[in-house]
């Protein structure tokens, strides 16, 4: 008889603190800006230089690029480049990797978290499990990785 691993899997982890997470986010922001510049250059090529930067379609395109940037890293290994540098990983509380659905919820919940002057991130300081608002909403955690683990 096969056991459902998702119901029996448990993992202990050390939650990443606010400063470590903020440092990783800063690293990732620098890379994301470069990705957004490339995405804009591609859009300009497709539009033959006639691009309305304020259009809803262009903004949705850039938002999709942002989601794909973070989502791909989170779903494939749990770490963005900044997260690798600061030795943290996004995962499910039992240690498994996150799903695309969780990545989407996490990404969408993080937007107001950051737009409200980081209020959702500052929640970490009050939360006994060091979870940000978007961690709670997406059923994910950000854990510190062991020294040699990437």
Q: Are 43 and 61 in contact (CB under 8 A)?
A: yes
Judge whether 2 lies within some domain.
no
The pTM of this model reads 0.84
pLDDT at 101: 96
Tens of pLDDT, residue by residue, the chain (150 residues): 333 333 434 468 899 999 999 999 999 999 999 999 999 999 999 888 788 878 899 999 999 999 999 999 999 999 999 999 999 999 999 999 999 999 999 999 999 988 887 888 888 999 899 999 899 999 999 999 975 444
pLDDT of residue 147: 54
For residue 83, being part of any structural domain is answered with yes
Domain total of the chain: 1
Query: Residue 37: what pLDDT?
Result: 97
What residues make up the domain containing 138? 19-144
Predicted local distance difference test score (pLDDT) of residue 93:
94
Residue 82 lies in a domain: yes
Contacts of the segment 6-14: beta carbons below 8 A, 24+ positions apart: 6/94, 6/96, 9/94, 9/95, 9/96, 10/94, 10/95, 11/91, 11/93, 11/94, 11/95, 13/91, 13/93, 13/95, 13/141, 13/143, 13/144, 14/143, 14/144
Any domain includes 115:
yes
The answer to whether position 33 is within a domain reads yes
Q: Is residue 140 part of a domain?
A: yes
Cα Rg, the chain, nearest whole Å: 17
Q: Which residues contact 77 (CB under 8 A, 6 or more apart)?
A: 89, 97
Measured CA distances, 128 to 17, 59, 96, 101 (Å): 11, 36, 22, 26
Within a domain: 11: no
User: Which pLDDT value is given to residue 49?
Assistant: 79
pLDDT at position 54: 80
- Is residue 7 a part of any domain in this protein? no
What distance lies between CA 100 and its chain's CA centroid?
11
């Amino acid at each position: 008889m096969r056991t459902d691993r998702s119901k029996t899997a448990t993992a202990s982890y050390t939650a990443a603190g606010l400063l470590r997470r903020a440092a990783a986010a800063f690293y990732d922001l620098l890379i994301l800006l470069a990705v957004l510049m490339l995405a804009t250059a591609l859009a300009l090529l497709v539009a033959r230089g006639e691009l309305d930067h304020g259009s809803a379609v262009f903004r949705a395109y850039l938002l999709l690029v942002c989601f794909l940037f973070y989502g791909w890293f989170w779903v494939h290994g749990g770490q963005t480049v900044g997260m690798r540098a600061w030795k943290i990983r996004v995962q499910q509380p039992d240690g498994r990797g996150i799903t695309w659905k969780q990545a989407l919820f996490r990404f969408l919940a993080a937007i107001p978290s950051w737009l409200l002057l980081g209020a959702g991130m500052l929640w970490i300081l009050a939360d006994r499990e060091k979870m940000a608002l978007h961690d709670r909403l997406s059923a994910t955690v950000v854990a510190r990785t062991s020294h040699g683990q990437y």
